Amino acid sequence: MNKTFKLGGLALAAVFALSACNKDENKPAGTAAASGDKTAVASEFSSPIQQTSYAMGMDIGRSLKQVKDAGTEVDLKAFNEALQTMLDGKEPKLTEQKAQEVMMAFLAEQQQKVQAKMIADAKANLEKGQAFLKENGTKEGVKTTASGLQYKVKTEGTGVQPKAADLVTVEYEGRLIDGTVFDSSKQHGQPATFPLNQVIKGWTEGMQLMKEGSEYTFFIPSALAYGENAVSEKIGPNSTLVFDVKLLKVEKAPAGK
């Protein structure tokens, strides 16, 4: 995104580090209304530069809110004083070198917080996932493979059974163990098609158990999913994933592939 005004590199890096601690995305209120009535918004300002200046303030304010939401208070009096000093071209209380040192120390501290939270989340998610799979594995109809993948057959198809290199077309819904939906083919408006050997291990293994027309539910331990990686706002490190999958079509890999 191109922005008219940007925070300095170190300050911006600190904001990103802090916002990583807080996975809840802070979207500005009224975005939909603003985009739907640009004339009304523009009429609230006496000049284009006033509107642009307000947009700059929004940009900085949004970034500082991420800092605040992550647990670090912002002294607005000191912030506004420094802002006015720099705009007026006056001598600031900190030298450029000292300001960089302050921001570097701040960034290092926030990165440590991010790392500590990632480690704590990974441990908690792993323990929750293991407990879930242990109980789930005792439920009627749930089968567990040697790798630890669990699955339940909802409908058994009679069509082609895919191999790892084949293309498959599926309808699916992905959830966390607490029921939170993080992705689905319905959200994208169409089934998904992909090479079976280019997805997470749990999918590659599980899909080869199915035939066209089958509907399975997969319960995928983190080791067969994304492991210790936090891949999205919802999928944290060591997340156990649940997928409802319907296999629509299998396209065999070309000979020699």
In a domain, 218, yes or no: yes
Q: To the nearest 10°, report the CA torsion of 110, 114, 120, 121.
A: 150
At residue 63, φ and ψ (nearest 5 deg) are -65, -40
Report the Cα 191 to chain-centroid distance in Å: 22
- The first and second tokens of residue 184, run together, are 């689905």
Instruction: Please report whether residue 118 resides in a domain.
Output: no
Clarify whether residues 13 and 76 are in a common domain: yes
H/E segment holding residue 115? helix 96-136
Q: What tokens does 153 get?
A: 């057959």
Residue 89 resides in a domain: yes
Do the domain assignments include residue 166? yes
* 149 and 237 part of one domain: yes
Rounded to whole angstroms, the Cα distance separating 186 from 73 reads 41
The answer to whether the beta carbons of residues 141 and 150 sit under 8 Å apart is no
28 secondary structure, DSSP code: P
Identified catalytic residue from 16, 60, 200, 244 = 200
Q: Please indicate whether residue 119 is annotated as part of the active site.
A: no
163 with 231, same domain: the answer is yes
Q: Which of 106, 216, 218, 243 is catalytic?
A: 243
Q: What is the total residue count of the chain?
A: 257
243 is catalytic: yes
CATH of the domain at 245: 3.10.50.40
Among the options 59, 69, 183, 244, which is catalytic?
A: 183
Give me the pLDDT at residue 68, please. 84
First CA to last CA across the chain, in angstroms? 40
Query: What's the rounded Cα separation, in Å, for the pair 61 and 254?
Result: 55
Whether residues 236 and 153 fall in one domain? yes
Question: Do 151 and 236 belong together in one domain?
Answer: yes
Tokens 């999928």 correspond to 235
Examine the residue annotation and report whether 216 is marked as an active-site residue of this protein. no
133 within domain boundaries: no
Burial of 59 (0-12, 13-18, 19+ CB in 10 A): middle
154 lies in which domain range? 141-251
What is d(CA 149, CA 202) in angstroms, rounded to the nearest whole number? 6
Which amino acid, residue 243? F
C-alpha span between 148 and 210 (Å, rounded): 17
Total tally of structural domains belonging to the chain:
2
What does the pLDDT profile of the chain (257 residues) look like in tens digits?
333 334 455 555 555 554 444 444 433 333 344 444 444 456 788 999 999 999 999 999 998 888 888 778 889 999 999 999 999 999 999 999 999 999 999 889 888 988 888 899 999 999 999 999 999 999 999 999 999 999 999 999 999 999 999 999 999 999 999 999 999 999 999 999 999 999 999 999 999 999 999 999 999 999 999 999 988 889 999 999 999 999 999 998 766 55
Whether 132 is a known active-site residue: answer: no
Query: pLDDT value at position 252?
Result: 84
The answer as to whether 227 is a domain residue is yes
Q: Do 83 and 165 share a domain, yes or no?
A: no
Helices (H), 137-190: 185-188
> What's the per-residue H, E or C state across 205-245?
HHHCCCCCCCEEEEEECHHHCCCCCCCCCCCCCCCCEEEEE
d(CA 210, CA 204): 11
* 172 in active site: yes
Instruction: Check 172, 216, 218, 219 and give the catalytic one.
Output: 172
**Among this protein's residues, is 177 annotated catalytic?**
no
Q: Do 60 and 145 sit in the same domain of this protein? A: no
